[in-house]
Amino acid sequence: MLQPQTNVKPILSLQIIWGSMLAAPFMFLVVLNLIFKDAVPEALNPELMKEWYIYFGLATASLVASYFVPRFLFGLAKAQKPTDFNEMVKLYSSGYIVSLALTEVVSVIGFWFSMMKKEPSPFYAFLILTVIVFLMRFPTEGKVKALFHS
């Protein structure tokens, strides 16, 4: 019979979730390039830019929410005053996953906008923004401990 592993780092599960969610925007990019491989980029007309600003504004709002909503959840977790690192990771996980989901909304908005415009090029800005924020949010033991010891 299989015995449960006791030497697995508790933060590893969050790192696997992080990697999985980071892969999604790149899958969106592949899909867009396969669907619209022969698309000719549309000239930058004022109507396109107006729509782009609206969608980029929605993406920015999602990024702001991805910072503040988890902070509320982290505050609730911190109030429980865990002492064990495994318990810290469990309490940290909820807010962290919410922050990743709200960050991924940026790429979903970009994907949607590109599908509507029938070309992949508008997605690139959304992809870059998503990847930068994901890289900043890579989970480490130090970040979890810093949250609960501050």
Residue pLDDT, tens place only, 136-145:
999 999 999 9
The pLDDT assigned to 37 comes to 83
| CB-count exposure of residue 131 (10 Å: 0-12, 13-18, 19+) | middle
* Eight-state DSSP code of residue 139: -
Closest CA to 127 of 117, 118, 135: 135
- Per-residue pLDDT tens for 36-60? 888 766 666 677 778 888 999 999 9
Report the run of H or E that residue 131 belongs to, with start and end.
helix 123-136
Closest CA to 10 of 96, 85, 99: 85
Which three-class secondary structure string do you get for 70-97? HHHHHHHHHHCCCCCHHHHHHHHHHHHH
Q: How many Cβ atoms sit within 10 Å of the Cβ of residue 19? A: 11
The pLDDT assigned to 21 comes to 95
- Per-residue pLDDT tens for 59-118? 999 999 999 999 999 999 989 999 889 899 999 999 999 999 999 999 999 999 999 888
pTM of the model: 0.85
C-alpha atoms less than 13 angstroms from C-alpha of 33 in its C-beta half-sphere: 7
